A and B are shown apart, each in its own frame.
Chain A
Amino acid sequence: MANISIRNVSKSYGALNVLRPFSLEIEHGEFVVLVGPSGCGKSTMLKILAGLEPATEGQIFIGDREVTDLAPGDRDIAMVFQNYALYPHLTVRQNIGFGLKMRGTDKTEIDRRVDDAARILEVTPYLDRKPKDLSGGQRQRVALGRAIVRQPQAFLMDEPLSNLDAKLRVHMRAEIGALHKRIGVTTVYVTHDQVEAMTMADRVVIMQGGLIQQIAAPDELFNNPANLFVAGFIGSPGMNFLNAELRDGQLTAFGQQISLPRATTHQGPVVVGLRPEHLTLGEGPVTFSVRPTLVESLGSEKYVYFEAEGARIADGEDGKSKGLIARVSHSGTLPRNEEIRLGFDPALLYLFDFKTGERL
């Protein structure tokens, strides 16, 4: 186990910068998730950390050792791949023991450690099978077994759950979390799924376009997003955004003047963020009327889609936005196109700079 220090690592292919200078200090035993949309540079960062791709600039330390120019096998890390990358010609036992064998570990020691790892991951009955005779979940466990058996300084995981079906994914998510608690190895986990990031991480690194947007604990990210991108990325359904005008602490939105409880000196156009779950059915400190364009029922909850002047599509969405969303507790029926009243507390509004998208 060790801490990991990534110092100003960047990666470019010719003129194309896929990773802008990236710095991150990961504590010993910490579980850090890199999350972002595809092409944000998260997998590139993980490959650089693993030594599978060279960094254009910067340094990487694992423990006290600089590993920037070391081969993957000399970094004392283990990696779990998205497609598992099990060796198809070897049995489960040989797959798990492969890394130990490459390091010249004694045969009886390999057997002992493979048996231990297999017991932890409950794959003992399959040790003599080939990967093709295993189910997706079992293959995932073998891939994890291959990682833990070496007792490395750090685990690197590249979207390890994305090939599993939804139910198994939730199950394995919990198992990986439990495994991390049990063996406490420093882990860097890459995913595009914000739910995985929020549920598993000690700290989340949100990336977009090769740049770190925010590094924070999951709740901190949700409650205090640093900018529009983070605010829109974290949360499901995503935060609602409105273009609005701010003058002398008065916000013009939803066809009315709203007094902001927080003092702000900012003047001019802003982007207002409002989480769907902060909208309530009926009267609130601020109330407005809408005609829902669509109502989705989740049983006790309803997603109410409506249009409002200045509604803004969050960055990175595909433009098929159905307007704004309210997530309200309501078990009855809400007819479409019939006027309803929605309320919210202006203290729960987020304000972002119109030009830079930074939080105000």
Chain B
Amino acid sequence: MRRTFAQSLALYATVIFTLLMILFPVYWLLVTALSTTDELYRLPPTFWPADPQWDIFARVWAAKPILMWLWNSMLAAVGSVALSMLVSVSAGYALSRYSMRGGATMGLFVLTAKMLPATLLVIPLFSIFSSFGLIGSLWTLVLAHSTMIIPFATWMLKGYFDTIPKELEQAAMVDGCSPIGAMVRVVLPIATPGLAATALYAFVLSWADYAYARTFLVNSPDNWTANLGITTMQGEYVTYWNDISAASVFIALPIIAIYLFLERYLVGGLTAGAEK
């Protein structure tokens, strides 16, 4: 069906509006980073700095241990993704494929953990971690982020596995696979888009965390993550928003890179052709 002019107009207007909504904060971050301190407080605000301070990135990079913060964030995020994917894939697959007594109830119970606010879990987690002597270690973040990620990821993956016909595993088993073999050789490759989406969700959730990092790592500067590090750039009397914005740009870059890497797997329709 051909679109009418009015429909096209509405479509493009919606797309442009949505793009603006999403991109404006990014643009403003960049403007803030590139502006001089005086220009930042000027009213009305300028939409592009008169004298862009491109050297701010080099200055901030030299002044703050940004690479170390990024590295710590990366370790925590990769660890969280690895641990939570291991658990969620197994749990989601089991919930999807095996009917067990109380399985559905158990599945729902897992989800209630997601409904609790993260701040509520900080206190019990803190006391558990301190009794194991983990406070200050990045392992606290891997474990704490996993408690947030696993419930939701399990359900995302269960939903994805539900869309994969179970005859595919049966066929694989008749072809000589063990049940685990059928999952690894047939189900997981087909579930790649679901796995990629879940991993991306897990990565972003861990990367964006501040509350847990602040609580568990505040006294161990060597293990500060990027988000925690940035907040320490806020001064008691003066805050250099342009420095903070420049550091924020550095922190956003890895997420963009990860997204670009995973994007190719985020295509749907991989099961097309399995059935009639």
Residues of A within 8 A of B (CB): 50-52, 71-73, 77-79, 81-89, 98-99, 102-103, 130-134, 136, 139, 146, 150, 163
Spot the interface stretch: B119-127, B131-139, B162-170, B203-211.
B162-170
When the two chains form the complex, which single residue of B165, B167, B271, B276 contacts A139, counting CB atoms closer than 8 Å? B276
B236 interface residue, CB < 8 Å from A? no
| A–B complex contacts, Cβ < 8 Å, 11 sampled | A71-B178, A73-B177, A79-B171, A83-B275, A85-B274, A85-B275, A86-B274, A89-B190, A102-B181, A131-B274, A132-B272
Give Cα A146–Cα B175 distance, bound, in whole angstroms.
Answer: 9
In the bound complex, residues from chain B placing their C-beta under 8 Å from that of A133 are 273
Give Cα A50–Cα B172 distance, bound, in whole angstroms.
Answer: 12
Give Cα A130–Cα B272 distance, bound, in whole angstroms.
Answer: 9
Are A102 and B274 in contact, CB atoms less than 8 angstroms apart?
no
Chain B interface: which size bin? 20 to 34
Give Cα A185–Cα B51 distance, bound, in whole angstroms.
Answer: 83
In the bound complex, residues from chain B placing their C-beta under 8 Å from that of A84 are 274-276
Give Cα A99–Cα B170 distance, bound, in whole angstroms.
Answer: 12
List the 8 closest pairs (A to B, CB-CB), nearest first: A132-B273, A131-B273, A102-B176, A73-B176, A99-B175, A163-B276, A85-B167, A83-B275
- Taking the closest CB of chain A, its distance from the CB of B181, in whole angstroms, is 8
- Taking the closest CB of chain B, its distance from the CB of A157, in whole angstroms, is 12
Closest residue on chain A to residue B274 by CB atoms: A88
Closest residue on chain A to residue B181 by CB atoms: A102
Residues of B within 8 A of A (CB): 165, 167-168, 170-178, 181, 186, 189-190, 192, 269-276
Closest residue on chain B to residue A162 by CB atoms: B276
Are A99 and B273 in contact, CB atoms less than 8 angstroms apart?
no
Known: A72-B174, A73-B174. A83 touches B270 (CB 8 A): no
Give Cα A77–Cα B174 distance, bound, in whole angstroms.
Answer: 7
- Among B167, B190, B270, B273, chain A packs the most CB atoms within 10 A around the CB of B273
- Taking the closest CB of chain A, its distance from the CB of B214, in whole angstroms, is 43
Closest residue on chain B to residue A77 by CB atoms: B174
Closest residue on chain A to residue B191 by CB atoms: A89
Give Cα A132–Cα B270 distance, bound, in whole angstroms.
Answer: 9
Are B171 and A88 in contact, CB atoms less than 8 angstroms apart?
no
Are A85 and B168 in contact, CB atoms less than 8 angstroms apart?
yes
